[in-house]
A = this chain, B = another copy of it.
Amino acid sequence: MNFGVIGYGYWGPNIVRNLRGIEGSEVVAIAEVSSSARTRAQKAHPGVKVVSDAAELFKSPDIDAIAVISPVWTHYDLAKAALMNGKHVFVEKPFTSNSAQGEELIELAESKRLTVMVDHTFLFTGAVRKIDELIRDGSLGRLYYYDSTRVNLGLFQHDINVLWDLAPHDLSIMDYLIKASPEAIVATGQGHLNGHEDVAYMTIYFPDKVIAHINVNWLSPVKVRTTLIGGEKRMLLWNDLEADEKLKIYDKGVDIDSREGVYNLLVSYRSGDMYAPQLEQVEALRQELSYFIECIESGSRPFNDGQAGLRVVRMLEAASASMKRKGELVAL
């Protein structure tokens, strides 16, 4: 499988390194508009063709698939050109700048029988796989809430707000884990520096009283990456910054008793052991790219396909609309 990679900024080098490390996969060309980034690419990968114009990749008969690792506003044009030229496409998240673009790309890929994968890398980590298992096998019980905090100082992007920059991680994980369709979104936020919101909060309403909340912030003095998930039977805390013990599962919960009188508590608390399961030590991106190759070869549809990417984009669109109107409820 021969790859072309467009974009060699922050994330592109990881894509190239991993694709080159997979048996049977090769990167034949890299396109990048910045000359200094091209120099870096060429130095790190002497045998690979490095060009400034992505069009060279679309035209190349040697290339089977193209990875689009450039800013979000370029995704639609680049992915469309790749698909039009018969290339499978791996697109950085968020998938597209709006849902209409996403829908069009999905349709185009289907009509050409090409595979589209959106880079929701976290779905391939040991932590998310383990949480998924705990939800699937009933360990957590009925879900109550999903509450994620993803804050740090920067990376400030100048062309999108903090929701589009940081929340795609959380939304793609939440979409994968909860599986139900969200009903409506409320978002609030504020921009202090360049016109785009740098602090933002999203509430997502799901059926059956499941509620999700995402706190993203570019102006935090400390880096936080924590997700709390509460279920009827168990609750968990995922702290992605912990070297070990990233995932802690608490045998804790609440039982409701019948109402007895105004001064009595109605509830009792269960509190038991905590355990931190050992997680698979895999490089998630390597796993994801191997899976992309497998899906292309077998013709099967990846779970992180264009539809998954589109669901995330629709939530981002709804959240941006809600945020602009100060928390107005936007149905999905």
Nearest Cβ distance between residue A130 and chain B, in whole angstroms? Answer: 11
| Cβ-based interface call for A128 (8 A) | no
Pair A273/B271 contact, Cβ less than 8 Å: no
Bound together, the chains give a CA A201 to CA B34 distance in angstroms of 43
CB-based contact B213/A219 at 8 Å: no
Q: Which of these, B144, B215, B243, B251, contacts A192 with CB under 8 Å? A: B144
Q: Answer whether residue A175 sits at the interface, using C-beta atoms and an 8 A cutoff.
A: no
User: CA of A35 to CA of B199 in the docked complex: distance in angstroms?
Assistant: 50
Task: Give chain A interface residues in 189-220, CB to chain B under 8 Å.
Answer: 189-194, 198-199, 201, 203, 205, 209-211, 213, 215, 217-220
Query: Closest Cβ of chain B: how far from A165's Cβ, in Å?
Result: 12
Complex-state Cα separation, A244 to B132, whole angstroms: 26
Judging by beta carbons under 8 Å apart, are B188 and A211 in contact? yes
**Docked CA distance A209–B259 (Å):** 45
**A329 located at the interface, meaning its Cβ lies under 8 Å from any Cβ of chain B in the complex:** yes
A259 touches B158 (CB 8 A): yes
Q: Which residues of B contact A254 (CB under 8 A)?
A: 153-154, 156, 193, 218-219
From B158, B199, B269, A266 is in contact (CB under 8 Å) with: B158
A256 vs chain B, min Cβ distance (A): 5
Q: Are B263's CB and A203's CB within 8 A?
A: no
Enumerate chain B residues within 8 angstroms of A190, measured Cβ to Cβ.
144-145, 205, 209-211
Give the complex CA separation of A269 and B271 in angstroms.
32
Contact of A263 among B34, B220, B259, B266 (CB under 8 A): B34
A221 lies within 8 A of B235 (CB): yes
**A275 sits at the interface (CB 8 A):** yes
**Contacts A156-B265, A193-B267 given: A228-B151 contact, CB under 8 Å?**
yes
A299 part of interface (Cβ distance < 8 Å)? no
Q: Is A326's CB under 8 angstroms from B205's CB?
A: yes
Task: Say whether A33 faces chain B, with CB atoms less than 8 Å apart.
Answer: yes
Oligomeric state, in number of copies? 4
In angstroms, how far is the closest chain B Cβ from the Cβ of A217? 7
The contact size tier of chain A is 35 or more
A237 on the B face (CB < 8 A) = yes
- B326/A329 in contact, CB under 8 A: yes
Residues of B within 8 A of A157 (CB): 265
Given contacts A194-B266, A219-B145, A252-B221, contact A184 B326 (CB under 8 A): yes
Tell me the minimal C-beta distance from A16 to chain B in angstroms: 14
Interface string of A6-41 (1 = CB under 8 A from B): 000000000000000000000000000110000000
Give 7 new A-B contacts, CB below 8 A, not counting A221-B228, A221-B252: A71-B263, A149-B149, A158-B266, A221-B274, A222-B228, A222-B244, A271-B278
Interchain Cβ contacts under 8 Å between A and B, 28 examples: A33-B263, A145-B192, A145-B199, A145-B217, A145-B219, A154-B254, A154-B269, A156-B267, A158-B265, A158-B267, A186-B186, A188-B203, A188-B205, A190-B205, A190-B210, A193-B256, A199-B211, A199-B213, A201-B213, A218-B254, A221-B230, A221-B252, A222-B244, A274-B276, A274-B278, A275-B275, A322-B327, A327-B327
